[in-house]
Amino acid sequence: MNATDLPAAIRAKRSYLCVGLDTDATHLPKGVGSGAAGVLAFNKAIIEATKPYAVAYKVNVAFYEAMGTEGWHVLEQTRAALPDSCYLIADAKRGDIGNTASRYAQAFFGHLAFDALTVNPYMGTDTLEPYLAYPKGDIFVLACTSNPGFAHFENLMLANGRRLYEEVVAQCQSLTPAERVHFVAGATHITALQAVRTLAPKAVLLVPGIGAQGGNLSLVSKTGFSWQAPLLVNASRSVLFASLEHDFAQKAAAEAARLAAEMSVILESL
């Protein structure tokens, strides 16, 4: 799936929910086992439980890399279990010089066949070009993230009157093809999210920070959603760990359904 397919997918499900598979091997519920095998069993159960409500999945690569060789195999098997009818994001936050970036593109867009990859732009726009030179795959550029450290660098005021994250978004507007360039904008910094939307009116915004981090879904949606360039609101811990008992999949489904129902109501009002 491409980002251009998202409006149709959102209309069909009346949801713009992205389920984050930040699966912690040390924090698994009862009944799924432990280690790499437990993570895979858990992921498959979560995917099956949430796929009626999710239009996207975001797999946080760090949780799989932490398990070494076994973790990479779980990442491959998790990707194979994800529905191709959903938009699939590898959350790896890669950022490096061109020849290295081209290998990251090959790994995530080629070998693993993800639809999109999160990337770190702070070495310059030339480090993003290799991803767009690859025949397929969208990028989500880190702009204003949801963590408190957003204030340390991303929100610094520059001499030209822009915040650093605004300069990042503005300069990324010159990347081509433009329809493959999108941004991460945290739900916990609503003014920054609004600024990103203004600077990038045609980009999809991947929005972390709803749920465990306290972002307001209604406010985020009214600030950043448009049918031309929708939001993907990510929920990870609030869905994954809605229960640590044997009913974890049912509770995950219930939380995903609750979020999707709220999104459906919001969509009616937009």
Positions marked catalytic: 93
Q: What DSSP letter does each residue of 18-55 carry, written as one string?
A: EEEE---TTSPPTTS-SHHHHHHHHHHHHHHHHTTTEE
Neighbours of 268 (CB within 10 A): 8
Do 26 and 37 meet the contact criterion of CB atoms below 8 Å apart? no
With beta carbons less than 8 A apart as the criterion, state whether 129 and 95 touch. Answer: no
184: alpha, beta or left? (left if phi > 0; alpha if psi -120 to 50): beta
CA distances from 98 to 104, 125, 128 (A): 10, 10, 8
- Burial letters 136-160, b for 16+ CB under 10 A, else e: ebbbbbbbbbbeeebeeebbeeeee
